[in-house]
């Protein structure tokens, strides 16, 4: 009965258009009332304790580094370097966008940040060169979800904290699947170029190439130092976030010299607002998670799925269908916070590797960022490209299909996740 109360209240409050953080708080209150354990003080205490978690401190640091890179010229250097690599191929701006997303994902950890930053740079440029706006926006938005897969990833930090998993191992698990996502998009874009007839190319002289490489090196070293530092124990993921913010600040202020003190206040305020939203959701979800455990909802879910525990592949497919639907109607952060404590006991009982499942879960929910009706990244694409939502959905479809195929490949071939993870972890 508790499971029914939780799901009914969740969808009812969502249908009313209430912000997700408030929805989660109301769900927690509904469960407390139903179980006859009404205690506002305990509810508040669990909300505070949910945010009092050291690994979560990485989130504001990585958000801050993303804002600094956006304002300080570091992101444009990534785009120029990507142009140097693939710009000479027909339809080069599209290939540039994908390569830039792969490189930038090692810096930001956020699909929303990637879509906003690269969209602002690439979509006007692609439109100016004759690309269809919905194609350009679809490509940028779909490539942006590589960011939460390749480390450092904010969703993987949240999942690792919630499921009590090693964030370092989760980071290592995401490297190859993230690159495969990029390869899938490159293949689809090749077909799009053939169909639409794009033929733009961009070449560089030797002097221009040397200049681009020289300017790009500090930006390119950053993900190498972050991932390498985490892997070899130089610093924790949280310390890596602090390092990323300081590194970006120093490079943008003293090397590129495009970030001055007048921009810092705007950057810090924007980061604080974004962090506050995420942490309010984390706090509310922590209270819900505590009540979910008290109400034994994971046990009820395990009983519902008990017949599939002996068939792990079928269980994975059923769970992923459910997560895909939930990703369409709710953002990735609350989905992770709500369903991680519910689903992990089930997959552990089925003998599924928790790190493999964690990566698959995040990859699946990332697709929700680019699926209607609540795909946050889709609305960023609409705003940047100045196109209707319906056109945005049409533009995203071929790329979404490729990424769904990558998800299925990872589900059917878990070694794609676990073997590289074990290799990178030594």
- Per-residue pLDDT tens digits for 173-188: 999 999 999 999 999 9
Kindly report the pTM of this predicted structure. 0.86
User: How many Å apart are CA 20 and CA 245, to the nearest integer?
Assistant: 28
The residue assigned the tokens 């190498």 is 224
Query: Residue 1 has what pLDDT?
Result: 66
Burial of 15 per CB tally in 10 Å (0-12, 13-18, 19+): exposed
Q: Are 374 and 331 in contact (CB under 8 A)?
A: yes
Provide the token pair at 73. Answer: 């010229």
Listed residue (382, 404, 402) closest to 393, CA to CA: 382
User: How many Å apart are CA 244 and CA 218, to the nearest integer?
Assistant: 12
276: number of Cβ within 10 Å: 12
Spans in the chain with pLDDT lower than 50: none
Query: Residue 201 has what pLDDT?
Result: 82
% of the chain at pLDDT higher than 70: 99
User: How many Å apart are CA 100 and CA 113, to the nearest integer?
Assistant: 13
Which residues, including other chains, have CB under 8 Å from residue 285's CB and lie 6 or more apart?
A: 24, 50, 333, 334, 337, 338
The residue assigned the tokens 């993303």 is 66
Which residues, including other chains, have CB under 8 Å from residue 398's CB and lie 6 or more apart?
A: 138, 188, 191, 192
Query: Residue 404 has what pLDDT?
Result: 95
374: number of Cβ within 10 Å: 16
Query: Residue 34 has what pLDDT?
Result: 79
User: How many Å apart are CA 349 and CA 219, to the nearest integer?
Assistant: 43
Q: How far is CA 380 from CA 13, 239, 376, in A?
A: 25, 30, 7
């Amino acid at each position: 009965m508790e499971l029914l109360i939780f799901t009914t209240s969740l969808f009812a409050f969502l249908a009313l258009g209430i912000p997700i953080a408030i929805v989660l708080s109301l769900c927690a209150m509904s469960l407390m009332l139903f179980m006859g354990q009404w205690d506002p003080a305990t509810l508040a205490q669990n909300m505070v304790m949910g945010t009092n978690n050291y690994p979560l401190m990485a989130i504001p640091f990585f958000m801050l580094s993303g804002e600094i890179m956006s304002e300080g010229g570091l992101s444009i250097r990534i785009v120029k370097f990507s142009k140097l690599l693939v710009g000479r191929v027909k339809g080069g701006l599209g290939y540039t966008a994908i390569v830039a997303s792969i490189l930038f994902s090692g810096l930001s950890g956020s699909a929303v940040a990637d879509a906003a930053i690269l969209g602002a740079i690439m979509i006007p440029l692609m439109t100016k060169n004759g690309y269809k706006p919905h194609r350009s926006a679809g490509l940028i938005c779909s490539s942006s979800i590589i960011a939460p897969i390749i480390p450092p990833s904010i969703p993987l930090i949240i999942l690792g904290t919630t499921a009590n998993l090693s964030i370092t191992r989760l980071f290592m698990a995401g490297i190859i699947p993230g690159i495969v996502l990029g390869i899938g998009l490159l293949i689809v874009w090749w077909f799009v170029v053939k169909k639409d007839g794009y033929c733009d190319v961009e070449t560089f002289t030797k002097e221009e190439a040397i200049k681009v490489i020289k300017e790009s090196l500090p930006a390119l070293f950053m993900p190498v130092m972050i991932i390498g530092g985490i892997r070899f124990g130089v610093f924790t993921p949280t310390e890596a976030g602090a390092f990323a913010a300081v590194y970006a600040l120093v490079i943008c202020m003293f090397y590129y010299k495009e970030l001055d003190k007048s921009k810092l206040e705007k950057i810090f305020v924007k980061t604080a607002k974004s962090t506050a939203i995420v942490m309010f959701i984390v706090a509310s979800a922590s209270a819900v998670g505590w009540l979910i455990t008290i109400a034994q909802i994971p046990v009820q879910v395990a009983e519902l799925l008990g017949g599939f525990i002996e068939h792990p592949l079928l269980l994975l497919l059923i769970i992923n269908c459910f997560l895909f639907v939930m990703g369409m109607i709710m953002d990735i952060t609350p989905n992770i916070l709500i369903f991680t404590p519910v689903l992990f006991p089930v997959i552990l009982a089925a003998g599924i590797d928790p790190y493999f499942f964690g990566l698959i879960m995040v990859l699946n929910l990332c697709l929700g960022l680019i699926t209607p009706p609540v795909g946050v990244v889709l609305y960023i694409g609409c705003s940047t490209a100045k196109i209707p939502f319906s056109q945005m959905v049409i533009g995203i479809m071929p790329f979404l299909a490729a990424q769904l195929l990558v998800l299925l490949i990872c589900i059917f071939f878990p070694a794609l996740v676990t073997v590289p993870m074990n290799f990178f972890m030594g």
